[in-house]
Amino acid sequence: MKVIIHGGFFSESHTDAATKLAKQEAMKAIVKASYDYLKEHSALETVAYAVTLLEDDVLFNAGTGSQIQSDGKIRMSAAIMDGATQKMSGVINIEEVKNPVQVATKLMPYDDRVLGGEGATRFARDNGFEAFSTEIPQRRKEYEAKLGTKGLGTVGCVALDKDGKIAVATSTGGKGFEIPGRISDSATVAGNYANAFCGVSCTGVGEDIVSNATSAKIVTRVTDGMPISEAFAKTFEELKPYDGFAGAIAIDHNGNMFHQDSHPSMVFASYDGENVEVFG
């Protein structure tokens, strides 16, 4: 059993030392809680659980504490993918729900599994997700100062369960100050992808991650037999021609955990039952 989580990138411009430490402590607690949960649950259930905890923590830009878009509204995106069945479900630009990843999970058994905008919000209401404001005063202050920041803290989790199954979930409040309607990578196969061989969750600038098809490429390379470290190296090399800003976490079917970032300030934590590693 293995769990790895990320909390996005530290903003180079406005993350003080105390916030950095608080994020690291939160990551440590959440990765341990998620590992405990994995003992009794599947990888799929665990990634939803871990991302819910990360969404509920105001330190991270997903769920409560999400970034505000250019028109003053918050629109969030999240996806979950089951590597065993290769089903992915997600919500794009959903409004006023506490946990977008839970709405994404609810969509898993449906034929129509990725919903956007008003349809996603309506589906949430019809399924008992009450209206909930995920805005916090700090984000409003940043919005008023017109601080759109790149890569401020999408969250994600990859888990490998005791049956050898892999799942991944990713959730974001976006880049901040976006044109309404902008679509993040988080609910696409570029930002969140898994099969029976590997699962990958990304953070960073969504446009760069989509241009590089980052998660799908890493997973495909591992599926075709490339060691996970080489799959990461090659895929991150391909971001360089356009200075792509991305970070990714992964677990393969042999239990190897891996992470890489193009601009080293991604915060993440992993746990294999013995050692908690926290970076960033």
Residues that bind ligand ASP (CB under 6 A): 8, 61, 151-154, 172, 174-175, 184-186, 203-206
Q: How many CB atoms lie within 10 A of CB 65?
A: 22
| CA-closest candidate to residue 248, choices 223, 217, 226 | 217
208 is in an annotated binding site: no
Closest CA to 204 of 157, 158, 156, 159: 156
| Sequence-separated (6 or more) residues with CB below 8 Å from residue 95 | 73, 74, 75, 76, 121
For residue 241, give the DSSP letter.
G
Question: CB 58 → ligand ASP: shortest distance, Å?
Answer: 15
Q: Which of 197, 225, 199 is nearest to 214 (CA)?
A: 199
Residues 6+ apart with CB under 8 A from 224: none
Question: Which position has the token pair 């919000």?
Answer: 121
Closest distance to ligand ASP from the beta carbon of 247 (Å):
8
Nearer Cβ to ligand ASP (179/225)? 179
Question: Does 206 show up as a binding residue in the annotation?
Answer: yes
> Which of 154, 188, 214, 235 is the catalytic position?
154
Residue 182 labelled as part of a binding site: yes
Closer residue to ligand ASP, CB minimum distance, 203 or 253: 203
Contacts of 134 (CB under 8 A, 6+ apart): 63, 64, 65, 66, 74, 76, 96, 97, 98, 173
Least Å distance, CB 204 to ligand ASP, is 5
Q: Active-site residue 149, yes or no?
A: no
Q: Is 89 part of any known ligand binding site?
A: no
CB closer to ligand ASP, 197 vs 236: 236
User: Which is closer to ligand ASP, CB of 83 or CB of 204?
Assistant: 204
Supply the minimum distance, in Å, between the C-beta of residue 152 and ligand ASP.
Answer: 5
| Bridge partner list, 252 | 198
Q: How far is the CB of 210 from ligand ASP (least distance, A)?
A: 9
Query: Is there a binding annotation on residue 113?
Result: no
Sheet holding 266-271, edge to edge: 114-116, 87-94, 76-82, 166-172, 155-160, 2-9, 266-271, 276-279
Residue 18, Cα to own-chain centre: how many angstroms? 23
Residue (10 or 258) nearer to ligand ASP, CB = 10
Q: Determine if residue 183 is labeled as part of a ligand binding site.
A: yes
Closest chain position to ligand ASP (CB) = 206
Annotated active-site positions, please?
154
Residue list, annotated binding site for substrate:
182-185, 203-206
Residue list, annotated binding site:
182-185, 203-206
